[in-house]
A and B are shown apart, each in its own frame.
Chain A
Amino acid sequence: MKLNSFRKKSPWILHYNAGSCNGCDIEILACLAPKYDIERFGIINTGNPKQSDVLLVTGPVTKRSRERLVEIYAQMPEPKVVVSCGACACTGGVFRGMYNCEGGIDQYIPVDVYVCGCGSRPEQIIDGVIEALAILEKKTKDLEQSIRLKKEPVKEDTQLNRRDIAAEIKEIA
């Protein structure tokens, strides 16, 4: 029970660069520095996916980094939230349609918060992470709820009969 209250007060972030131009990455680094000081929210940067709660991703997904992105996401324990930083992480941005790029990270992993801008300002990134914390809390509550499987009786049969929609078979003369 205690773990949950701690998680809210001190979420650990994991940063992965999936092909970005380094612009958003240095802004994330600037967030850790004294001027913006993201640590006042208890947030620290960690390199280990197994200890982190928030995944910060930058960059359109390149073909070589997509498997690593999915792998890192899969290694993070539940509950977890994903924040996509920058225009190219959200939609592909200027790189959309280039031959070695996918358009945006939401084609591979579910994204909770989109932070726009090229590059995202540190204030925007902090805002996005704070928003992600609210989602993290909601996800934690959802996980804790006991689930009762309900089975409701079927009222009417809405399923199509395949034979009704099948094309007619013509006889070959």
Chain B
Amino acid sequence: MNRIETSIDKVKDDIRNFYKPDLYHFVVINAVDLGEKIEVQWFFCEYANPSNIIAFCVQINPDEEIPSIRDIVESSWVAEAELVDLMNIKIQNTAKGFVLEPDFESGPLRKKK
């Protein structure tokens, strides 16, 4: 797993420069609660060399809005909708309620304080 550390402003441009549909395969978006901050990871994998897994890592504050990569990777909408519900973070143009019922308290994967 190759980590590429980047920042919230630059991550979208980085992915736009990196992603080629016929070379790389979008896997999933993951988020880890680190306590104060949340780390968001975009996973990609190479078709020709499947053991080469690339992760774009960004550390954000819980109330920051992260950009959606739906215009670059079309199939990322499922992962984004899931992240919004389970981690209770804001993603551009993504509504709540895809995974959990609307009346449910969102963010079950966040650490309890």
Chains A, B in direct contact (C-beta < 8 Å): yes
Report the bound CA distance from A154 to B56 in whole Å.
78
Q: Which B residues lie within 8 Å of A99 (CB)?
A: 108
Q: Which B residues lie within 8 Å of A64 (CB)?
A: 101
Report the bound CA distance from A63 to B108 in whole Å.
14
Q: Which B residues lie within 8 Å of A63 (CB)?
A: 100-101, 104
Interface residues of A (CB under 8 A from B): 63-64, 99-100
Q: Is the interface of A mostly helix, strand, loop or mixed?
A: loop
Closest 6 CB pairs of A and B: A99-B108, A63-B101, A64-B101, A63-B104, A100-B100, A63-B100
CB distance from A103 to the nearest CB of B (A): 17
Report the bound CA distance from A64 to B97 in whole Å.
11
Report the bound CA distance from A13 to B54 in whole Å.
49
Q: Which A residues lie within 8 Å of B100 (CB)?
A: 63, 100
Name 8 interchain pairs, CB-CB below 8 A, sorted by A.
A63-B100, A63-B101, A63-B104, A64-B101, A99-B108, A100-B100, A100-B104, A100-B108
List B82-113 residues whose CB lies under 8 Å from chain A. Answer: 100-101, 104, 108
- Closest B residue to A98 by CB, please name it: B108
Report the bound CA distance from A99 to B106 in whole Å.
11
- Closest A residue to B103 by CB, please name it: A63
Report the bound CA distance from A63 to B101 in whole Å.
7
List B48-84 residues whose CB lies under 8 Å from chain A. Answer: none
Q: 1/0 per position for B17-41, CB-CB distance to A under 8 A?
A: 0000000000000000000000000
- Closest A residue to B100 by CB, please name it: A100
CB distance from A170 to the nearest CB of B (A): 42
CB distance from A97 to the nearest CB of B (A): 13
5 extra A-B contacts, CB within 8 A, seeds A63-B101, A63-B104, A100-B108: A63-B100, A64-B101, A99-B108, A100-B100, A100-B104
Q: Which B residues lie within 8 Å of A100 (CB)?
A: 100, 104, 108
- Closest A residue to B104 by CB, please name it: A63
CB distance from A95 to the nearest CB of B (A): 14
Report the bound CA distance from A100 to B108 in whole Å.
10
- Closest A residue to B108 by CB, please name it: A99
CB distance from B54 to the nearest CB of A (A): 32
Report the bound CA distance from A99 to B110 in whole Å.
13
Report the bound CA distance from A100 to B101 in whole Å.
9
CB distance from A65 to the nearest CB of B (A): 11
Report the bound CA distance from A49 to B80 in whole Å.
36
Report the bound CA distance from A44 to B101 in whole Å.
34
CB distance from B85 to the nearest CB of A (A): 11
- Closest B residue to A66 by CB, please name it: B101
CB distance from B109 to the nearest CB of A (A): 10
